[in-house]
Amino acid sequence: MVKNSNEERDAKVFALYEQLVEIEQRLIPTGLHVFGRPSSAGEKTDLLKMIASFDRPEVGARAIPEELLDDAVRVFLENGVDAAVRVTGEASRPVFNLLETVCTRLQSNNEIDSLVRALRGEFIEPGPGADIIQNPDILPTGRNTHAINPYGVPSAAAFARSETVANSLLHRYKNENGRYPEAMALVLWGLDNIKTQGEGVAQALWLLGTRPVRDALNRTTSVEAIPLAELGRPRIDVVMTVSGIFRDLFSPTVQLLDKAVRLVAQLDEPLELNYVRKHVLQQVDQDRCDLDDAAVRVFSNAPGNYGTNVNFMVMDSQWEREETLGDLFVTRKCFAYGRDSTGRAFEGREARVAMDRALSRVEATYQNIDTFEIGLTDVDHYFEYLGGVSKAVEKRAKARPAIYLSDSLSREVKIRSLEETVRLETRAKTLNPKWYEGMLKHGFRGVAEIENHVSNTFGWSATADAVDDWVYTEVANTFLFDEQMLERLRDLNPHSAHSLTQRLLEANGRGYWDVDKDVLEKLREISNSLEDQLEGVV
Ligand code: BEZ
Ligand code: MG
């Protein structure tokens, strides 16, 4: 008995320790990029450490071990490559050569000059678009960002990396639910798939149990099925909601994904090992439709349209029932893309019933996060997409799906639930003094960023009920009930301070934040005094 409780205690302490390390190691942007200004010394050091902590097979470099990293980077900055190599050993010379190049490129900032030249209609040198840690070749900034050849997607590296992500995702669901999900909804974005050369695309192909096939011109134009014996698990039915940007940039990839679904739907395999076929046959039977219509799985906006508008509806508080948010998502995204069995392409055919049916079977939703720079609460796009599709599933499947995100950039692939990710983002950013003080240095804009983060967090309450009460309580304590902080926010940007107060009141009003009456009373007082101040200002 005693031993048992000791073990339990140790397990709890260890789990807490792991969470603390996770928050501590989270890389966060501390402040906004100022157009035309090179990075500061502190930012540069953090960035170099991050770059040096990953294996870089493309330059023959291994990650610098964690215990040597701080010293090695300090010595490198003070005394250069040779001195740093003496700390870590000759094998890490390629890393320091890379850091030297990065340092040189960080010093020059051509952004303003390039903008002026662009406005004059002059030539701007091209450069790759990517995450700076993943691909330091994006430096120097101020170049004309070029994208990617869609026929190269997914790259061999992206496909290989994605096997682990897809397996971890399925493993996590199975651990929590005792079986594989029969159907999942995935969100695919254009810029993300540019940065990772198609990791999101590759994950979808893995879930279906297919691999890309290149033609004689080395273009990825087809797919083949991975045999079930090799796959070792069922093929998962995948509903793909792709952004308008993805649709525009990756037209051949949209066709490839549709082709993969149709290929799998037609395999003569046991239905308990091929959920795509199982569902397609079910639908043909129930709806008396043909196979072509039952196999539609790639959805986006109508041609020429972008976005879900779920973010605008949430930000403007223009909704009464949560299900409206999911319905809006479907209204915006129910346009099917692909090619039917006669070879005729359909590009943006309205297919609301097909989308309703496909979503009604979904048990888990997922999006790949592939950048250190932008997370769940930095922009309103994560909740408009992943939150929007999850809310749409909830009504159609009559059950809230499990919602997951991956962190495919960390050294080990990590799958987190939405709730875990919101907690991590809140602790690493919104409530982290290092983050908000970095923002407050930007004055008016910084306060607006803090308010944005709280509103984006609220977006996860509205679309997925994924925010704990303590998050709102601590936001109120940190920014509004601390008198000095409230004074600073008032001085810098009373408009955003007021919006922040209103958002917290809305969180309570809509049932996302259970809090005492006196707290609400205090919030209303602050809101009223900010209103008085604003009326005086205007
Ligand atoms: C995209 O890259 O597809 C994307 C960018 C911003 C918001 C939504 C999607
Ligand atoms: Mg709650």
If you measure from the C-alpha of residue 473 to the centroid of ligand 2, how many angstroms do you get, rounded to a whole number? 12
pLDDT(2) > 70? no
And the tokens for 347?
């590009």
Determine contact, residues 246/210, Cβ cutoff 8 Å. no
Reported as type and span, the H/E element at residue 470 is helix 469-475
**The pLDDT value given to residue 197:** 87
Quick: pLDDT tens for 5-24.
899 999 999 999 988 888 88
The lowest-confidence range among 31-45, 97-111, 277-291, 519-533 is: 31-45
Determine contact, residues 362/239, Cβ cutoff 8 Å. yes
Any idea how long the chain is? 538
pLDDT(537) > 90? no
Q: Measuring from atom 4 of ligand 1, which residue has the nearest CA?
A: 189
514 sits in the region (left: phi over 0; alpha: psi -120 to 50; else beta) called: beta
CA-only gyration radius of the chain, Å: 25
Quick: pLDDT tens for 441-491.
999 999 999 999 999 999 999 999 999 999 999 999 999 999 999 999 999
If you measure from the C-alpha of residue 194 to the centroid of ligand 1, how many angstroms do you get, rounded to a whole number? 11
Quick: pLDDT tens for 211-255.
999 988 888 999 999 999 999 999 999 999 999 999 999 999 999
* Residues in contact with ligand 1 (CB, 6 Å cut-off): 189-191, 243, 245-246, 381
From the CA of 247, the nearest ligand is 1
Which atom of ligand 1 sits closest to the CA of residue 194? 2
Secondary structure string (H, E, C) spanning 249-298? HCHHHHHHHHHHHHHHHCCCCCHHHEHHHHHHHHHHHHHCCCHHHHCCCE
CA–CA dist 22, 437 (Å, integer): 21
CA–CA dist 23, 374 (Å, integer): 16
If you measure from the C-alpha of residue 245 to the centroid of ligand 1, how many angstroms do you get, rounded to a whole number? 6
All residues at 6 or more sequence positions from 294 whose CB lies less than 8 Å from its CB, including other chains? 265, 279, 280, 281, 283, 284, 287, 354, 357
Which atom of ligand 1 sits closest to the CA of residue 385? 8
CA–CA dist 63, 83 (Å, integer): 17
Residue at token pair 């691999």: 211
